[in-house]
């Protein structure tokens, strides 16, 4: 069988607060919020999904944020018996110190444990880790 064309276009992140995360990543990356679907009729007001997309001419996948009714904030580094971070975003930067300061000013939290000199691990407002790297 011939392999069909496959192309990753987006990453969907489960969260308890899709709109807040879209606003956070929109500000952090300077990407516009391009979709915002509210809750279904029987869902809580915070339910639904949102999306941020790179501006035209900028590479990268679309980031979607989908409400998870039973979301549990991940723990990183992993701790036995707790919800682990099953994925994270890696974000390339030119100036690690300036990018870290910017991320914190946008609402990120710097992780206590930093495993590498040229990487900074931070948490978004719902606890998902992401890495800034040079």
Look up residue 96 and give its two tokens.
């690690």
CA distances from 103 to 2, 65, 111, 127, 131 (A): 44, 18, 12, 14, 11
Q: Which of 120, 104, 113 is nearest to 24 (CA)?
A: 104
Domain covering 72-134, topology: 2,3-Dihydroxybiphenyl 1,2-Dioxygenase; domain 1 (3.10.180)
Is it the case that residue 26 has pLDDT exceeding 90?
yes
pLDDT digits (tens, 9 = 90+) for 59-84: 999 999 999 999 999 988 888 888 88
Ranges of each domain in the chain: 10-70, 72-134
Strand-pair category, 62-67 with 10-15: parallel
Identical topology for domains 10-70 and 72-134:
no
CATH code of the region 10-70: 3.30.720.100
pLDDT category, 86, cuts 50, 70, 90? confident
| pLDDT confidence of residue 84 | 82
Tell me how far apart the alpha carbons of residues 22 and 15 are, in angstroms, rounded to a whole number: 10
Look up residue 53 and give its two tokens.
């997309």
Q: Which of 18, 34, 30 is nearest to 102 (CA)?
A: 30
Mean pLDDT of the chain: 95
Is it the case that residue 32 has pLDDT exceeding 90?
yes
């Amino acid at each position: 069988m011939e392999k069909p064309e496959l192309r990753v276009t987006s990453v969907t992140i489960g969260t308890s607060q899709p709109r807040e995360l879209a606003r956070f990543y929109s500000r952090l990356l300077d990407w516009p919020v391009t979709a915002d679907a509210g809750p279904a009729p029987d869902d809580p007001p915070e339910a639904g999904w949102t999306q941020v997309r790179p501006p035209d001419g900028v590479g990268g996948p679309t980031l979607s944020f989908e409400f998870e009714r039973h979301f549990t904030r991940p723990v990183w580094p992993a701790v036995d018996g707790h919800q682990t971070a099953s994925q994270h975003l890696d974000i390339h930067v030119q100036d690690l110190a300036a990018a870290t300061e910017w991320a914190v000013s946008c609402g990120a939290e710097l992780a206590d444990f930093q495993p590498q000199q040229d990487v900074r691990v931070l948490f978004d407002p719902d606890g998902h880790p992401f890495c800034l790297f040079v």
